[in-house]
Amino acid sequence: MNCLLKVSNLKAIYLVREGTIKATDDVSFEIFENTAAAIVGESASGKSTIIEAMTRTLPPNGRILSGTVEYKGKDLLKISEEELRTIRWKEIALVPQAAQQSLNPTMKIIDHFKDTIQAHGINWNKDELISRASEKIRMVRLNPETVLNAYPMQLSGGMKQRVLIALALLLEPKILILDEPTSALDVLTQAHIIQLLKDLKKKLNITLIFVTHDIAVAAELADNIFVIYGGCLVECSPTFEIFKNPKHPYTKGLINSIMAINADMSKIKAIPGDPPSLLNPPSGCRFHPRCEHVMDICKKVRPPLVQLSSGSKVACHLYEEGGYRR
Ligand code: ATP
Ligand code: SF4
Ligand code: MG
């Protein structure tokens, strides 16, 4: 499989009055062409920070300390703003978290499409714009005649999410990144958006990277799952493998918590303790204060991400290259 995007040793922080929030700490992963990758973790674990650092869209108090994001032989973190503009939207499009709120309530949907092309220096005439916008609106299974002339407030949450996906597809990117595309939607609408993304991936040969706090959503759509805990990537596995044989103690806890829906409730065990503060994260493995397998080394040394023979990668001292530590 062809590696399309390679993130290596990405570190990002936020500057706050109390110090620095270590929100993305040495995160590395690869995205393969025409696959869907899910970045999964609980709230405030640093999922959005990874996306924002990769796409250079961090808020003003965010800083990238180190790392590379390789795409077509270039490091997206090093190229000029001008060069980045030729890649954004045309090659890599992003639907940020809570993007629905960024739709301008005083502008019709067609004007959002117009703004998008203008922002990317494209000069389509009115007919071309309407034709291309209609094509994309149809692709997300909405009716262009009603939707393009509507104001955002006239659309439901699910329709707005589809419009945002259509906008992101306007310039036919190779990679579509979506931050929490299904949160804040009811379960049925969530299912429709997941099915839509599956169909688009197949039809357009597009590569998807999406963020979700819900591992069940990841299971539906992703080929590979990246589990984030306390700003660190703790496991990176093919989806079937993560459900069949989760490796990291935190991943096991996550899987256990969703199995609750179908399983014998007496077997459900919540992960004890609270997520770590990223202002003063625990030393060594950030999961150590909550881990039932904790060893001395876990408190002192950060576990490296190692490749296992099963195809998973895991950052935990219980493992070494290949499999379990002997
Ligand atoms: P959620 O599921 O709630 O969207 P997340 O996993 O996307 O969470 P991030 O938004 O990346 O998490 O946040 C990671 C950490 O960085 C959290 O501790 C959060 O409070 C902090 N953080 C995020 N944005 C900022 C900011 N602009 N300034 C300071 N701290 C921030
Ligand atoms: Fe638990 Fe140690 Fe593995 Fe961390 S490194 S998950 S503390 S066993
Ligand atoms: Mg987020």
Q: Spell out the alpha helix ranges (H) of the chain.
A: 47-54, 81-87, 109-119, 126-139, 144-147, 157-169, 187-204, 215-221, 239-244, 249-259, 296-300
By the 10 Å C-beta count (0-12 exposed, 13-18 middle, 19+ buried), 5 is classed as: buried
Tell the residue nearest (CA) to atom 10 of ligand 1: 48
Q: Whose CA is nearest to atom 1 of ligand 1?
A: 43
pTM score of the predicted model: 0.96
What confidence tens digit (pLDDT) does each residue in 288-307 have?
A: 999 999 999 999 999 999 99
What was the pLDDT predicted at 304?
Answer: 97
Residue 234 CA: which ligand 2 atom is closest?
6
Complex ipTM value: 0.99
> Where exactly are the structural domains of the chain?
3-91+176-269, 103-172
pLDDT digits (tens, 9 = 90+) for 66-107: 999 999 999 999 999 999 999 999 999 999 998 889 999 999
Distance from the CA of 282 to the center of ligand 3, in angstroms?
Answer: 21
Cα 222–Cα 317–Cα 314 angle in degrees, nearest 5: 15
* Nearest protein CA to atom 3 of ligand 2, as residue: 316
Decide yes or no: CATH 3.90.700.10 for domain 3-91+176-269: no
Looking at the CA of 19, name the nearest ligand. Answer: 1
How many residues belong to the chain? Answer: 326
The one-letter code for the residue type at 45 is S
| CA–CA dist 135, 94 (Å, integer) | 19
How many whole angstroms separate alpha carbon 71 and alpha carbon 86?
A: 13
- Starting from the edge strand earliest in sequence, which strands make up the sheet with 3-16, in order? 19-32, 3-16, 62-71, 74-75
First and final CA of the chain: distance in angstroms?
32
13 Cα–ligand 1 center, Å: 10
